[in-house]
Amino acid sequence: MDLAELATPALLVDVDRLDRNVAAMATSFAGTGVALRPHVKTSKCWEVARRQLAAGAVGMTCSTAAEVAWLRERGVPDLLWANVPIGPRKVEFAVDAARGGGLTVALDSVAAARPLAEAASAAGVTVPFVLEVNTGHARLGVEPDRAPATAAEIAALPGLALRGVLTHEGHIAAAPDRAALELAGGAAGAVLAGVAGALRDAGHAVDVVSVGSTPGATSAPFAAGVTEARPGTYVYYDANQVRLGSCTLEECALSVLTRVASAERPGRAIIDAGVKAMSSDTIAAAGSVGVVVDVSGRPLRGVVFGEANEEHGFLNHEGGIAVGDLLRVVPNHACGTTNMWSRVYAVRGTEVLDEWPVSARY
């Protein structure tokens, strides 16, 4: 099937770019002593995850209980749930999943740990955990100077076993340039490794020192003492990663196929892909909903996808765009875009090769 035969909008993955991205990241960690544990939230697709595992990933990172359940059904043996299981249903799920082994959860406070410990102890189960540490992003994570005391309090609870420490160095994306970003990534890795050392000095076994981001994948994992990395977006890359210098536009594997629905006003065209196709993620978006390229993936100069409604996108252009034209848009954030879709079409050039399900969506 040719792309022109698909109903639009449609989500596309260029399989050649995907395979190159998977291979390149695997190669960058081979022989370094740092394990690669990719984040499955980017693709939520088994055809992608199995490629990562085949390339040497030690396991997968998950954001949600649904992702954990889905990969366990697929037989993936080593999963890190990089989120705090809060509330009765998540606690119950974590205990049940840990019963069979192969699952580690994240915790960052005694308050979050206590319900999990009580449920695990009552079930006769030990749940392994990593202590999440704030290295600058200030999302989840205990402050570094409080980590030893917090780890000691949590580890003293029944039903829980400390494996190590974890961070998400998302703050480095705010660096003013790539050189500063690399320095910030290395500093985040060093902070986490320092916390791991402090925990060891206090008598804790710390086997896992885990950092995680695609922009930080060239710096944070290689700070002395880090043991694993959890990049996710690299399988597809996206417009944000282009802006951050993590990749080129030609490495971006994910795009949304769209058609021009209206061109009634000069310099203005309407496409049939809005925020329900692209997501409304504006992280580092720089006034754009995504980068417009032609059907072959080549950039279209002078075309800006500046705003969108639910089902319509608004392009500003310098001419040459007509009703019915087939275009592609590289999204700002691949992870958010993926979660909008139930399936993705695997393509090579303009040929549609296969249809892959997107799983474990909200």
- DSSP per residue over 89-123, as a string? HHHHHHHHHHHTS-EEEEE--HHHHHHHHHHHHHH
Q: Are both 3-11+247-357 and 15-235 of the same fold?
A: no
Checking if the pLDDT of 94 tops 90, the result is yes
Residue with tokens 């995850």: 49
Return the pLDDT at 287: 73
Average pLDDT rounded to a whole number, residues 95-102: 93
Return the pLDDT at 285: 56
Other Cβ atoms closer than 10 A to 154: 23
Return the pLDDT at 162: 98
Checking if the pLDDT of 282 tops 70, the result is no
Grade residue 138 by pLDDT with cuts at 50, 70 and 90.
very high
Return the pLDDT at 288: 86
The percentage of the chain sitting over the pLDDT mark of 90, rounded to a whole number, equals: 95
Query: Mind listing the pLDDT tens digit for each residue in 159-195?
Result: 999 999 999 999 999 999 999 999 999 999 999 999 9
Checking if the pLDDT of 279 tops 90, the result is no
The percentage of the chain sitting over the pLDDT mark of 70, rounded to a whole number, equals: 99
Q: Using CB atoms within 10 A of its CB, is residue 304 exposed (0-12), middle (13-18) or buried (19+)?
A: middle
- 140: tokens are 């989840």
Query: Mind listing the pLDDT tens digit for each residue in 41-57?
Result: 999 999 999 999 999 99
The residue among 145, 150, 103, 115 whose CA lies nearest residue 131 is 150
- What distance in Å separates the CA atoms of residue 97 and residue 104, rounded to the nearest whole number? 9
> How do the domains of the chain map onto residue ranges?
3-11+247-357, 15-235
Name which CATH class applies to 3-11+247-357.
Answer: mainly beta
- What distance in Å separates the CA atoms of residue 311 and residue 46, rounded to the nearest whole number? 28
Query: Mind listing the pLDDT tens digit for each residue in 295-316?
Result: 999 999 899 999 999 999 999 9
Name which CATH class applies to 15-235.
Answer: alpha beta
Query: Mind listing the pLDDT tens digit for each residue in 191-209?
Result: 999 999 999 999 999 999 9
Q: Using CB atoms within 10 A of its CB, is residue 286 exposed (0-12), middle (13-18) or buried (19+)?
A: exposed
- What distance in Å separates the CA atoms of residue 217 and residue 296, rounded to the nearest whole number? 29
CA distances from 249 to 16, 239, 330, 332, 344 (A): 14, 7, 8, 11, 20
Grade residue 286 by pLDDT with cuts at 50, 70 and 90.
low
- 271: tokens are 């496409």
Q: Report the relative pairing of strands 290-294 and 208-211 from DSSP bridges.
A: unpaired
How high is the mean pLDDT of the chain?
A: 96
pTM of the model: 0.96
